Amino acid sequence: MAKLKNKYKREEKELIDSMLKSGNRTFITCIELIETSKIKGHQIYECKYVDSGVKKQVNIIAADITDAVGKLEALVGFGMPQQAANLMLGSERFNLDK
């Protein structure tokens, strides 16, 4: 894998501030696979993102990373509190869609 030059490496806070200054108010800063789910064929992803300028973090149960991004995309922009989003996206109870 190619190595990123040091001049492009910033702390998360600096990166978020730069994105906000450039006019981006909603974006994902990190998605990481953290565990497998009890739901067959699903994993648990930790997602750090900024929603309308507010930093948030949720766990998402999804079949793959594109499914995780799709589920998150459906919730951003509505001002939903982080706890409510985490309950909806990170609970096996609410993820019995497959």
pLDDT tens by residue, 42-90: 999 999 999 999 999 999 999 999 999 999 998 888 878 888 888 888 8
Q: In what order do the strands lie in the sheet with 27-36?
A: 27-36, 43-51, 54-62
User: What's the pLDDT at 98?
Assistant: 45
Residue 44, beta-bridge partner list: 35, 61
Cα separation, 87 vs 89, whole angstroms: 6
Contact 73, 27 (CB under 8 A): no
Domain locations in the chain? 12-94
Rounded Cα distance between 49 and 52, Å, is 10
N- to C-terminal Cα separation, the chain: 34
In the predicted model, is pLDDT for residue 27 greater than 90?
A: yes
